[in-house]
Amino acid sequence: MATAQATKNNITLKGSTAIVTEFFGYAVNSILYQRGIYPPESFERKNKYGLGMLVTTDEQLKAYLVNVLQQINDWMLQKTLQKLVLVVTAVGSHEVLERWVFDIVNEDANVDERGDAVGEKSDKEIQTEISAIIRQITASVTFLPLLEEQCTFDLLVYTNDDAEVPVQWEESDARYITDNAEQVKLRSFSTSVHKVEGLVSYKASED
């Protein structure tokens, strides 16, 4: 007799890294769209995580993100990535207005015979958790102050001291919000190999 069972997938370090890197790509695109960093007509809709996701059609931005995400992927495979930070800055004043922080925690997964981390979690569970954090990013416009001036963004990547950094990457300061900062903790998600914890800090309105 056949029996239906709820099965959990074995998640490898490589598989988990691919899931997290892909999430970062969609999360960055969502933030850039929701916060009006790029014009809405430069995005197209794609279905992902059971949601209608908006991704850029700007070729220069796409190339930049591909390059950054590939390096993030490499650092995660080497277990040297600590966090990804998207910084929103006013073009005129260069003031930091928002910091979207995604911390990466290496979870205590099991290890296979080759010494690779292996977790166990169903794809549906992971997708549901990612969907929840994407929904929260989308809803951020309800509590974040309106960006009243033209803004740009930078991606900051925190790594361990022993990480190999490509020559085209440059050192940066932390780019903190200097005054009147507030923060909202975002949801987290786990692949059972990696856990991603989100937080957005922003300059609050002075009135």
Is the pLDDT at 12 greater than 90, yes or no?
no
Distance (Å, rounded) from C-alpha 97 to C-alpha 94? 9
Query: Quick check: is 39 in a domain?
Result: yes
pLDDT tens-digit map of 110-164:
655 555 656 778 899 999 999 999 999 999 989 999 998 999 999 999 988 777 7
Report the alpha-carbon distance of residue 194 to residue 80 in Å, rounded: 12
Specify if 150 maps to a domain. yes
CATH at 166: 3.30.900.10
On whether residue 87 sits in a domain, the answer given is yes
Residue 28 lies in a domain: yes
CA 139 to chain centre: 16
Q: What is the identity of the amino acid at 70?
A: Q
Please check whether residue 153 lies inside any domain of the structure: yes
DSSP for 146-186, written as a single string: P--S-EEEEEEEEE-TT----TT----------SSEEEEEE
How many domains, in total, are found in the chain?
Answer: 1
**Which token pair is 97?**
């207005």
176 pLDDT band, cuts 50/70/90, is: confident
pLDDT for the residue 179? 82
Establish if 1 belongs to a structural domain: no
Confidence of residue 7 (pLDDT cuts 50, 70, 90): very low
Residue 2 lies in a domain: no
Find the domain containing 50 and state its range: 9-203
Residue 16 lies in a domain: yes
